[in-house]
Chain A
Amino acid sequence: MAEPVVCPGTSATGSRVTVDHVTKSYGRLAALSDVSLSIRAGEVLGLIGPNGAGKTTLFECVAGVLPSDAGTLSIDGRTIGAKERASFVFYMPDGIAPWPSQPVSWALDFTIGFFGGAAERRDEVVTQLGLEPLLASPLGTLSKGQRKRAILAIGMLTPHPLFLVDEPFDGLDLRQTREVASAIRAHAARGRTVFLSIHQISDAARVCDRFVLISGGRACGEGTLDELIARARVSAAPSHPSASSSPSTLEDVVLALT
């Protein structure tokens, strides 16, 4: 393996990322309507919402994979363009099976070499995600859960300060979900900001510091669990008969606010 070289300039420590007024429509269908939120450096932020709420569309717009109709992404108040965004945000989509004929080991090396990732963290990430027995297997031969972990490892090795993951727990069993959650927490503890899109609320509660609720393409709330509970109590309404009259869990909050 080639000798690593050190490069500066990708720190997110202390940076606050703001997503402002993002709007996206597919023809007449409004997928996102004026969505704004903020992401704090080093936190694990969860984007919670039902299927079809616009979570993936928001992620793709933030990552610059999908052109938004309106809206900006700012770092510490400075709006960043598409080119700068590519070196700041890394987005890991859900449901992809990249490089199916290549072994996991090569995919990790490629990620480090191609994106300028952290070579010294390779073994740690492999251990955290239990990938040792899979290193020689082609990505296309892995089960859904195995592939999810391999893809997550690819994302964890990229150097971008902000890491967006769409449905990180999809396809994982309970044990794997806990292991992956703990790996994500450890990853964030090293200073990387992680933004997760999750539709399983129990999984989100396990791993996230703060939450953004989204429904019907609109942001319905943002904050820590306590902040959201307080807000939900205020707006706990007869209009949400299925919601608890005194919300105390994330599930109650989601039902009350979305």
Chain B
Amino acid sequence: MQLIAENLACDRGDTRIFEGVSFALKSGEGMLVTGPNGAGKSSLLRVVAGFLPAAAGTVACDGNDIAQFSHYLGPQNGMKPALTVAENLEFWQNYFGIADFSIVAALERVGLSHVHHVPYSDLSTGQKRRIAIARLFLNHRPIWLLDEPTSGLDGHAEEVFAGIVSDHMKAGGIVVAATHLPIDVDGMKMLRFAERAL
């Protein structure tokens, strides 16, 4: 499995956010997208996921649309405050098709097995983020697109998350993470956006 982006460009209104971005990632490889605020990290991820149209260039996984192989973790968590943690995760697991991991096991992986029946709204910011991370395990998708995945996490949770990312890559997954905080995983490629001249 290979994720290939060629010569990607993205426009927001009349402004070109970035252009000429190319990269290729094979199974087991990851890439960190870094750069200052407003440089286009999130936009790159949204173009790769297919939420934003690419102004130029293509992105594909073995010639197919990558959405069907991907998990996307955006700046928002995609969970409903009125439902419990378990209800939220059950919903996404059912919606994304074939279940791969039990909800209990996924919660254990992020160290939150005790919040199973707590309403999502009662969790702290960091806990909410960890529940959103737990969603990535529920259904197997080889490509993970992560936008500021560690925002709101404390030091320990960041380490756990680095372990999760590294395990996913070892199992043959592909990770693309946009972040301004480096994630401590060996062997990640780097894509650096420079400060944009206005």
Q: Do A and B bind each other?
A: no
